[in-house]
Structure 1
Amino acid sequence: MPVSWTFAVARDDLARTVLVDGVTPDLSDGEALLRVDRVGLTANNVTYAVLGETMRYWRFFPPGPRGLGPQWGVPPLWGFAEVVASTVAGVAVGQRVYGYLPSAGHLVVRPGRVDASGFRDTSGHRAELPSPYNAYRSTAGDPAYRADQEDLLILFRPLFFTSFMLADQVVDNGCYGAATLVLSSASSKTAYAAACELRGRGVRLVGLTSAGNLAFTRSLGCYDTVLSYDDIADLDVVPTAYLDLSGAPATRAALRRHLGGQLVRDVAVGLTSQTPNADAAGEVFFAPVQMRKRRQDWGSDGLDQRFTDAWRRFAGVVTGWLDVRVGAGPAGLQRVWHEVLAGRTPPRVGHVVRM
């Protein structure tokens, strides 16, 4: 049988990792085998691990079938895979797909709702998990796909989807009646992609970042003002909505002290500081919820077209903000995981791993 491998992390200590060799399983009727080909690794993937229990991210790729005990988790990654075996009509060997993949060499899926755009994994253990994570888009039927932009799609598409839906929800709610939107972790890809979508919507955009990232974040040009976390007292005391992508308790506390009742909305979006922030915030943003609303409002084709249009706008500018570093193989993935987990990746850098 062909050899495969799995990279896993200890659920109670994300810095403890293991690489396990294995074999690719035989397929049953109704299944296909994907070979993981090219993936990205960003702070977003660390977030999946931090929230693995509470948001059920560990359930997508159970460790048991990979020869690992329940104390281990398989971090989800976004990227491209190739169909290398299939028992399903319409899912052909050689088909290239984009989607949610394990940190492993292969993935067995049970394709359903197969059409020109791709398929969904209908495996039983994924049935109750958020639907967007179960979709695998065929490159041949994806209007956002361009072969020369694969690394951009790997690094930004899942983040940009969150950014796109976040900006849409903010606008859909009249910017919460705020005069200013404050985004923490403003140098992060999710934050500045959302700022690009929100620019020109009639609200002032303020990015908060660390002192070391001030120059980079200001160079983007997507915020009206960029401040360090130490300078929150310089914010105008006007109706303000806070989009929290850092999860840092000290930042939230400083904003509440300075703005008082003028802090009209406090939304937890994610966490780049590895501190769960949902309980402390007023509400939690979850992209699939807004996506379901817009599918009802616009239909699937309408949502896809709006996303594609927004992606093309963003892809036209983001190449000047990004340096892609390409690693290779399981050992390369393990090395990058530790770098990203430790926060050692500069904001200009995006890690892609070729398997």
Structure 2
Amino acid sequence: MAASWTFAVARAELSRTTLVEWAVPELSDGETLLRVDRVGLTANNVTYAVLGESMRYWEFFPPGRHGLGGQWGLPPLWGFAEVVGSTVAGVEVGQRVYGYLPPAGHLVVRPSRVDASGFRDASVHRAELPSPYNGYRSTVGDPAYRADQEDLLILFRPLFFTSFMLADQIVDNDCYGATSLVFSSASSKTAYAAAVELRGRGARLVGLTSPGNLAFTRSLGCYDEVLPYDGIAALDPVPTAYLDLSGAPATRAALRRHLGDRLVRDIAVGLTNQIPNADAAGEVFFAPVQMRKRRLDWGRDGLDQRFADAWRRFADVAGEWVDVQLGTGPGALERAWLDVLAGVTPPRAGRVVQF
């Protein structure tokens, strides 16, 4: 058995971490071994941990398989892995894939629906979990993949998928009758990627951010206006849809006081801190729901192509908006986790870890 490592966090105290070694089991028929190669760490990964129980994110990578007790959790990451062992026809050693990965050196998967685009993990414990997280895309034949943009894909692709689907749902619903779309946490990657997709498509885009991020957010050029959180009173009292990516109760309360019945939609999109915002919002946006609708409307290939086209438009500008900070090894992963969790990572910084 080969030795590997795992990084885990205490479910009840996300700043408490551990690094452990474990033995990679021998492969059984129908299994493939992935070596985790390169991953990113963003506020999105903290969201997975914050919502680990309620949204079942802890269940993707059970700690018991890594020799850890149930008090520990493996926050899911996005990135690239290499096939280093396989008993499955069509999944070859050396194949490079992009997908949902544990904070560990290796992952055993059970590929199904294998084709030129990749495969899905059909492991029993993942059967009832949200299916979009179970796909592994081969870099060969992926219309969104470029070798020189791997770090952008690592940092932005899962966020951009949410942004792309959010923008699509808003346009699909004629902006809910709103003439203004207000984003909290406007300096976040998910927010400004959605703004790029929505710009010029029917509504005025307003970003709310902290005073320290005003200059950066304005420099992006994707919002029509950027205000600090204490500047909400300057918003025009027009029909407004609020896209809440911060989860800050004070921001929602201030918007409701100022806009009253002009606040026509209040949508919780995610978290960039640890204050759950779903209960207070009028509704919750969950990207896989809109994805399922569009797969029916457009088919899988049609959705993939529209995503790839949107990604290329975004990647052309996003490279100027992020400074990749590359770390090496499990220790760098732990440091990146603690920094992102504490909210001390500047908006221009993108944390990538190579193993």
Fold match by TM threshold 0.5? yes
- 2:16 is matched with 16
- 2:184 is matched with 184
Q: AA paired with 2:195?
A: A
Q: AA paired with 2:66?
A: R
Q: AA paired with 2:143?
A: P
Deviation at 1:155, TM superposition (A): 0.3
Q: AA paired with 1:31?
A: E
Deviation at 1:65, TM superposition (A): 1.1
CA distance in 2 between counterparts of 1:73 and 1:62 reads 8
- 1:328 is matched with 328
SS in 1 for 2:320: helix
Q: Per-residue displacement from partner, 1:81-140 (whole Å, max 9, x unpaired)?
A: 000000000000000000000000000000000000000000010001111100000001
Q: AA paired with 2:226?
A: V
CA distance in 1 between counterparts of 2:173 and 2:257 reads 25
Instruction: Report 1:267-286 matches (<5 A).
Output: 267-286=267-286
- Does 1:256 pair with 2:256? yes
SS in 1 for 2:166: helix
Instruction: Report 1:141-220 matches (<5 A).
Output: 141-220=141-220
Q: AA paired with 1:53?
A: E
SS in 1 for 2:94: coil
- 1:307 is matched with 307
- 2:295 is matched with 295
Deviation at 1:24, TM superposition (A): 1.1
- Does 1:226 pair with 2:226? yes
TM-score (norm 1): 1.00
Q: Per-residue displacement from partner, 1:272-311 (whole Å, max 9, x unpaired)?
A: 1211111000000000000000000000011001000000
Deviation at 1:327, TM superposition (A): 0.2
CA distance in 2 between counterparts of 1:41 and 1:23 reads 25
Give the paired residue count.
355
Deviation at 1:187, TM superposition (A): 0.1
Q: Per-residue displacement from partner, 1:132-164 (whole Å, max 9, x unpaired)?
A: 100000001211101000000000000000000
SS in 2 for 1:321: coil
Deviation at 1:329, TM superposition (A): 0.5
SS in 1 for 2:140: helix
- 1:125 is matched with 125
CA distance in 2 between counterparts of 1:81 and 1:216 reads 33
SS in 2 for 1:114: strand
Deviation at 1:212, TM superposition (A): 0.3
Q: AA paired with 1:240?
A: T
Q: AA paired with 1:19?
A: L
Deviation at 1:3, TM superposition (A): 1.3
SS in 1 for 2:120: strand
Listed as ranges, the gaps of 5+ residues in structure 2 are none
Runs (4+) off by over 3 Å: none
Deviation at 1:202, TM superposition (A): 1.5
Q: AA paired with 1:139?
A: T
- 1:111 is matched with 111
CA distance in 2 between counterparts of 1:213 and 1:272 reads 14
TM-score (norm 2): 1.00
Deviation at 1:252, TM superposition (A): 0.4
Q: AA paired with 1:192?
A: Y
Listed as ranges, the gaps of 5+ residues in structure 1 are none
CA distance in 2 between counterparts of 1:299 and 1:65 reads 36
- Does 1:238 pair with 2:238? yes
Deviation at 1:245, TM superposition (A): 0.3
Deviation at 1:169, TM superposition (A): 0.3
CA distance in 1 between counterparts of 2:9 and 2:177 reads 42
Deviation at 1:178, TM superposition (A): 0.2
Q: Which stretch shows the higher mean deviation, 220-229 or 268-277?
A: 268-277
SS in 2 for 1:275: coil
Q: AA paired with 1:138?
A: S
- Does 1:44 pair with 2:39? no
CA distance in 2 between counterparts of 1:50 and 1:135 reads 23
Deviation at 1:46, TM superposition (A): 0.4
CA distance in 2 between counterparts of 1:337 and 1:256 reads 34
Q: AA paired with 2:178?
A: A
Deviation at 1:253, TM superposition (A): 0.4
- 1:70 is matched with 70
CA distance in 1 between counterparts of 2:273 and 2:133 reads 23
SS in 2 for 1:200: coil
Q: Per-residue displacement from partner, 1:315-349 (whole Å, max 9, x unpaired)?
A: 00011111000000000000110000000100000
Deviation at 1:75, TM superposition (A): 0.6
Deviation at 1:22, TM superposition (A): 1.1
Q: AA paired with 1:179?
A: T
Deviation at 1:25, TM superposition (A): 1.1
